[in-house]
Structure 1
Amino acid sequence: MSTDELRAAAHAAVDEAVTVLRDGRGEPLARIGKAAKDFLTEVDLASEAALKAALAKSTPEIGFYGEEGGGADLHRGRVWVADPLDGTINYATGSPLCGVMLGLLEDGEPVLGVIDLPFLGVRTDGGAVVDVDGFDEAIVGMGDAFHQGGGERLDAYLRLTMDVHRRALRFRCVGSAAVLWTWLATGSIQGMLLAHNNPYDVVAGHAIARASGAVVTDYAGAPLTLDAPGALAAAPSVHGELVAAARELASSTPG
């Protein structure tokens, strides 16, 4: 299949997932525990099922990996990687800061992504980052610290959060990687750093941000791979200083 055909298949699958999110909006949702400070709902499961079914029909030769059900080997061949409801806690508590993320890996490399923020009326599969003259003019977003677990890594992450908050023009923490990737790719923020490198939260955004002119790396500034400990992305003029600020985090031991 051509890139255009793959992109069309991704958009059609995301359409199905967005319908699930819209239909479940405002309904009472049972919370299914996943880990400390984290849960999923029946909407997460239904959205993932809708994505998987749509892609199995349109691209049966391509593997599938979802946040809730896992799936294909991420390092071999073509694999769709889906977060069926990114920002579950936001969604469950009525916040519009949530979305659907679908990316495509080819031998472990992100090549295509689609992100939809249905309650903000935004969908993106590309964009253009907006650069600034320096870190003090940048808006920087960071993911929720709870993903770091505890110990030395969490402490380093929290210190970095304070440093960014002090030095950047503005700081954002919105509880959704889908929102941060979209804002970076469309110019609303100039940098972002996630507290992890979960593929379902990163693959789609990595492909979109890179195609939009962002520099996408791990905490230490090395090329971002599936095995990296965390994801960092920024406009070119901001990236170096954000990596420098994350030096302690890059060298810390996971909790």
Structure 2
Amino acid sequence: MASRDDLQLAQRLADAAGDAIRPFFRARFDIETKGDLSPVTQADRAAEAAMRSILEKERPQDGIIGEEYGNVREDAAHVWVLDPIDGTRSFIAGRPIFGTLVALMQEGWPVLGLIDQPISRERWIGRTGDATTLNGQPIRTRPCRALDQAILASTGPQYFPGCTGEHFSILAGQCRDAVWGGDCYNYALLATGHVDIVAEAGLKLYDIAALVPVVEGADGHMCDWQGNPLDRDSKGDVVAMGDIARMDDILEALAHGHEGH
């Protein structure tokens, strides 16, 4: 379980990332394309560098897994997982629905997660054993009686290749409505009771780790598309739900597409 010191450190990491990001928001900055064709900016790199500097000074024995600067000591018992800007495309477009993700994993499992939106200054914190908070106030997901009452959120249908996209389309077709864009901000909205389901494919550990404690500490649930819990070895096809009573319906739609067809 994450300690109070861990929690305070995670918040200081997010503070440092936010200080690095804000000067670049809706400003002119360099944009590069990485090997996987995803964009990266000066703000991404500055924010991760700021967080890693603090960790190397204060927790030199802990591991770090980061999107921009790679992994060190990843076999340590305590590993910090960092995504300085989850939603770089939104950041580039001037949309304040990206977020900084900070997670602490112990023995391969996420025990502390933080989603920070540095422009609106909204901060969601989840810690195993505690209720998730938004700016210090406890929050929880909302009930969902049936899929046809659900709002589904996802970054975008273009990120679902092949049959994965077909299965996702079946789920989307059974929901009341679907909204696109948002990356980690969708999971924060689910934890706060505004969205019912988030489904995505092909995520990396730094995209996922911080989300799990936030969603589950708000009485939601996260798993892979087969219903397995998410850990260091998960392959990245994930679904979050505000009401675990809908789990069988969601997984059936994703796996087979039998529901309603």
What TM bracket, shorter-length normalisation? 0.7 to 0.9
For residue 178 of structure 2, what is the amino acid of its counterpart? Answer: F
- Unaligned segments of structure 1, at least 5 residues: 149-153, 250-255
For residue 114 of structure 1, what is the amino acid of its counterpart? Answer: L
Tell me the distance in 2 between the aligned counterparts of 1:189 and 1:40. Answer: 28
For residue 157 of structure 1, what is the amino acid of its counterpart? Answer: T
Q: Which residue of the partner structure matches residue 109 of structure 1?
A: 109
Q: Which residue of the partner structure matches residue 162 of structure 1?
A: 169
Q: Which residue of the partner structure matches residue 141 of structure 1?
A: 153
SS state at 1:246 partner:
helix
TM-score of the aligned structures, taking structure 1 as reference length: 0.87
Q: Which residue of the partner structure matches residue 211 of structure 2?
A: 205
Q: Which residue of the partner structure matches residue 131 of structure 1?
A: 143
Contact 2:80-2:102 within 8 A present in 1 as well: yes
SS state at 2:162 partner:
helix
Stretches (4+) displaced over 6 A: none
TM-score of the aligned structures, taking structure 2 as reference length: 0.86
Q: Would you tell me which structure has more helix in proportion to its own residues?
A: 1
Q: How many angstroms does 1:146 deviate by?
A: 4.8
Tell me the distance in 1 between the aligned counterparts of 2:8 and 2:59. Answer: 11
Tell me the distance in 2 between the aligned counterparts of 1:196 and 1:41. Answer: 21
Tell me the distance in 2 between the aligned counterparts of 1:196 and 1:75. Answer: 23
SS state at 1:163 partner:
helix
Q: Deviations over 1:127-179 (max 9, x none)?
A: 3111211111111112334545xxxxx12232234323322122122141x20
Taking a change above 3 Å as real, the CA distance of residues 212 and 2 of structure 1, as seen in their structure-2 partners, is closer
Contact 2:62-2:76 within 8 A present in 1 as well: no
CA-atom RMSD in angstroms: 2.1
Task: Tell whether 2:204 aligns with 1:219.
Answer: no
For residue 131 of structure 1, what is the amino acid of its counterpart? Answer: P
Match runs of 1:9-28 below 5 Å? 9-28=9-28
Number of aligned positions between the proteins = 243
Q: Deviations over 1:175-215 (max 9, x none)?
A: 41x20221121111111112123111100001211222122
Q: How many angstroms does 1:8 deviate by?
A: 0.8
Q: Which residue of the partner structure matches residue 136 of structure 2?
A: none
Q: Which residue of the partner structure matches residue 65 of structure 2?
A: 65
